[in-house]
Amino acid sequence: MSAPTIRVVNYHLTPARNAATYDREFAALAARYAPVREDDLAEYLSTGRWPIGRDGIIPVFYNGYRNNYDVARPLLERHGLVGWFMAVTAYSSCPAKEQEAFAATRTLTTVPGEYADGRSALSWDELRALDGPHVVASHTRNHTKVELDDAARLKDEIVGSQEDFRRELGHPVRAFAWLFGGRYGENPEADRAVERAGYEFLFSNFHVQRLPSTAR
């Protein structure tokens, strides 16, 4: 580590039983750091300075869980933070009664019995409501492990997810987080798919990258 750093707090499930903890965490983060939107991140990546005068914090919510909307979102808004919601688009498109089976086959943990109707994923209506006040981004289409030499599956997970966002939100999203944290430059097939999909930012385990295609 020799470069400037970006501070993120990674969340997945945010069940109601932990709401008091998330409230304390968001309050402490908001007291010290500024909320971050995509344009702020682009400026920071190109200049090393946060445009708003103090360091930024990015609370990231992975997997597109319904309890992120119900529990985390109102707390974020109480404290003036901007959440980055990394959704799994086929999970959000999956009928409520089939989501338990969807999650069980895709390394998605859920809270048993949390919702009577069985829906554990963010709905598209909820994603549309988040889009604007917060940041909606892609965490693949299916949240499933794909062999890195399988071009068709890579395209489906990376480009297909963006197609879902275009259809449902009416525009592409700007950020993508690859499953298991791969970064740009590690796999040419994945890199081509990420560029073809038109993403601007790639979140991985140790990096946030602004992609070369952004400049073209």
Partner 1 sequence: MKIDDDYLDAFEDDIVRLSRRTYAEAGVPMYLVPEDLTGATPPPEPDAEGAALAELFEAVTRALEARNGPLSSRDIAHVLEVLADRHFLDHPFSELSQ
Q: Which residues bind partner 1 (CB under 8 A)?
A: 1-15, 18, 21-22, 24-25, 28-29, 32, 44-49, 59, 109, 184, 203-212, 214-215
CB of 49 or CB of 78, closer to partner 1? 49
* Cβ count near 117 (within 10 Å): 9
Longest dimension (CA), the chain: 49
Q: What are phi and psi of 120, to 5 degrees?
A: -110, -10
CA proximity to 148, closest of 103, 185, 176, 175: 185
Q: Which is nearer to partner 1, 60 or 90 (CB)?
A: 60
> Which positions ≥6 away from 44 have C-beta within 8 Å?
4, 6, 36, 50, 51, 56
Nearer to partner 1, 32 or 196 (CB): 32
Cβ closer to partner 1: 45 or 52?
Answer: 45
Q: Least distance from C-beta 57 to partner 1, angstroms?
A: 8
Least distance CB 97 / partner 1 (angstroms): 23
Residue 177 CB, shortest distance to partner 1, in Å, is 11
For 80, 125, 171, the CA distances from 158, given in Å and listed in that order, are 31, 22, 15
Q: What's the closest the beta carbon of residue 133 comes to partner 1, in angstroms?
A: 20
Amino acid at 188: P
